[in-house]
């Protein structure tokens, strides 16, 4: 019964170890597993020691009793030699009794030896179980350490809500201040409230430094009408002038209602605010800012795959929009 409980304890502890790898709580399982295996081994050693002690005492008793029996047999034989050559019934009973006792002692010794062999086999089995448990524990610890190392070295991305036009404008200004290689700005309209002199001046400073700036603009319905003019495009002329002066400023007419920016591969912002159209105000807007490299790569790919629809506009109407 005890061995069944111990085996069950070892089995449950191993299952707990496997479960702990997924939940990263190995510390709660490793101690019971090692303790279960150690207690099982100690119990087997204790049983084997007790059995060996019993065998030793019994062998001593057998040796003593055997010597006494031999002495009795010698006494009987001497009595028989000096007495009548025909054994008496009493002598026969004593001899039979002596041989019976010796036979019973032999059986007892044999039973104890069998029990000792069984305990020795069980002790060896427990040693094997202990080895398996230690191996499983070592593998679990290695796996746990590997998982921890992977987690520790995994990039920790940030996700932050952008609330209101003021925070959206601040993210745009931060992108202009921190960009080193490439800045992508996507917004349907270019209006002086958002694409103001402050933004234009900072863009020109970056263009002089050699930073690549790409602006995706133009709402699809405006392109289909063949007309980019009016309030929502009142700074398109200034943007086109900068693009003619600096080849690293690229304007792309993509037909969009999207609003997002990508600053190098360091962070991106996307949301509801037309950050190149309107300035700060009380209008409720919401967006998200993130350093998630996968999301950043997807936004860059989306911009690059967008076709340039400039050819869809007639030259006369485009000239009208820029004048």
pLDDT in tens, 6-24: 555 555 554 555 544 444 5
Neighbours of 36 (CB within 10 A): 23
DSSP 179: -
Counts of helices then strands in the chain (DSSP H, E)? 9, 7
What does the pLDDT read at residue 144? 75
**Residue 178 in tokens:** 């921190």
What does the pLDDT read at residue 28? 45
Report whether pLDDT(249) > 60: yes
Report whether pLDDT(271) > 90: yes
User: Can you tell me the distance from the alpha carbon of 289 to that of 163, in angstroms, rounded to the nearest whole number?
Assistant: 10
pLDDT in tens, 273-314: 999 999 888 999 999 999 999 999 999 999 999 999 987 565
Position with higher pLDDT, 130 vs 5 = 130
What is the average per-residue pLDDT within 60-87? 63
User: Can you tell me the distance from the alpha carbon of 203 to that of 201, in angstroms, rounded to the nearest whole number?
Assistant: 5
**Residue 55 in tokens:** 């065998």
Confidence of residue 316 (pLDDT cuts 50, 70, 90): very low
pLDDT in tens, 31-46: 454 555 455 556 666 7
The CATH class that applies to domain 159-322 reads: alpha beta
pLDDT in tens, 92-104: 676 677 767 766 7
Query: Which residues on neighbouring strands pair with residue 315, listed in sequence order?
Result: none
Report whether pLDDT(173) > 90: yes
What does the pLDDT read at residue 36? 57
pLDDT in tens, 115-172: 777 777 777 777 777 788 788 778 878 877 776 766 666 678 999 999 999 999 999 9
Report whether pLDDT(260) > 90: yes
User: Can you tell me the distance from the alpha carbon of 231 to that of 227, in angstroms, rounded to the nearest whole number?
Assistant: 12
Helix, strand, or coil here: 282? coil
Report whether pLDDT(176) > 90: yes
What does the pLDDT read at residue 11? 55
Helix, strand, or coil here: 85? coil
User: Can you tell me the distance from the alpha carbon of 182 to that of 143, in angstroms, rounded to the nearest whole number?
Assistant: 41
Region of poorest pLDDT, from 127-136, 231-240, 250-259, 310-319: 310-319
pLDDT in tens, 180-227: 999 999 999 999 999 999 999 999 999 999 999 999 999 999 999 888
pTM: 0.55
Distances (CA, A) of 50 to 66, 119, 123: 24, 10, 13
Rg of the chain (C-alpha set): 47
183 phi-psi bin (left φ>0, alpha ψ -120 to 50, beta other): beta
Position with higher pLDDT, 34 vs 261 = 261
């Amino acid at each position: 019964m005890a061995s069944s409980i111990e085996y069950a304890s070892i089995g449950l502890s191993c299952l707990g170890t496997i479960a702990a790898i997924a939940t990263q709580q190995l510390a709660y399982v490793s101690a019971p597993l090692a303790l279960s295996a150690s207690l099982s081994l100690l119990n087997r050693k204790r049983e084997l020691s007790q059995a060996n002690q019993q065998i030793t005492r019994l062998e001593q008793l057998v040796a003593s009793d055997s010597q006494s029996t031999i002495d009795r047999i010698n006494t009987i034989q001497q009595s028989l030699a000096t007495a009548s050559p025909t054994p008496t019934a009493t002598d026969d009973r004593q001899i039979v009794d002596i041989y019976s006792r010796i036979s019973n002692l032999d059986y007892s010794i044999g039973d104890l030896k069998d029990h000792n062999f069984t305990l020795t086999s069980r002790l060896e089995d427990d040693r094997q179980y202990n080895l398996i448990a230690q191996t499983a524990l070592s593998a679990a610890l290695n796996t746990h350490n590997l998982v921890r190392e992977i987690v520790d070295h995994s990039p920790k991305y940030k996700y932050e809500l952008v609330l209101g036009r003021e925070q959206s404008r601040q993210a745009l200004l931060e992108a202009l201040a921190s960009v080193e290689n490439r800045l992508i700005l996507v917004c349907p309209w270019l209006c002086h409230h958002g694409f103001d002199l402050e933004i234009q001046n900072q863009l020109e400073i970056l263009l002089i430094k050699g930073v690549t700036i790409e602006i995706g603009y133009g709402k699809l319905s405006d392109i289909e009408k063949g007309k980019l003019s009016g309030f929502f495009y009142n700074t398109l002329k200034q943007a086109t002038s900068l693009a003619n002066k600096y080849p690293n400023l690229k304007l792309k007419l993509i037909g969009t209602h999207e609003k997002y920016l990508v600053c190098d591969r360091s962070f991106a912002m996307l949301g509801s605010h037309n950050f190149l159209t309107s300035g700060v105000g009380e209008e409720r807007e919401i967006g998200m800012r993130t350093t998630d490299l996968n999301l950043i790569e997807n936004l860059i790919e989306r911009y690059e795959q967008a076709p340039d629809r400039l050819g869809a506009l007639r030259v006369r109407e485009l000239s009208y929009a820029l004048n």
